[in-house]
Amino acid sequence: MTQKNTDIADLADFGRFSEPALLILVSLAAEPRHGYSMTEDIEAIAGVRLGPGTLYGALARLEARGFIEPLKSEDRRNPYRLTALGERALRARLDSMLAVARAGQRRLASA
């Protein structure tokens, strides 16, 4: 199995936290953010407002897998940033989704 496929499997292993984890990675792709900032950003880009239980369930998994890491903070709101491993996993997942979307559009166009 290639490294790329391993990264895809890692995100897929998140179960019901798979989609929130993807949204968090997308949110952190722009810049480091803390929890509140992530929920605002995710709501803006995907129209979904993650509850704190879902947000931190996904965050804990991403951190445990080394996809994101916390930055030192002076206040109680810990910002997180994407790691190199997280960036690879995000690219792999987005490429996979893009391939599926293109295939679907091609089939719809020829139907």
Partner 1 sequence: MRWLLRLYPAAWRERYGEEFGAVLDSQHASVGLVLDVISGAIDAHLYPQVFAQNNSQNRNSETSQIQKGDAMTLAMFQRCSIGGPKLTPDERRIASRLAIGTSFVMALLYVLLTKIYREAPAVQAVIWSAILAPNIINTQMVYLRKRSWLTHAIIVGGGILGMYAFMLAVCVVARRL
Residues binding partner 1 (CB under 8 A): 34-36, 39, 49, 51-57, 59-61, 63-66, 76-78, 85
SS3 (DSSP) at 68: strand
For residue 70, which phi and psi values (nearest 5 degrees)? -80, 150
CB of 97 to partner 1, least distance (A): 25
Helices 18-30 & 52-64 angle (0-180, nearest 10): 80
Between 26 and 38, name the residue whose CB sits nearer to partner 1.
38
Which residue in 28, 60, 22, 57 sits closest to 41, CA to CA? 28
CB of 54 to partner 1, least distance (A): 6
CB of 91 to partner 1, least distance (A): 18
| Cα distance between residue 56 and residue 74, in whole Å | 20
Separation of CA 25 from chain center? 3
Between 17 and 93, name the residue whose CB sits nearer to partner 1.
17
Between 77 and 102, name the residue whose CB sits nearer to partner 1.
77
Between 15 and 108, name the residue whose CB sits nearer to partner 1.
15
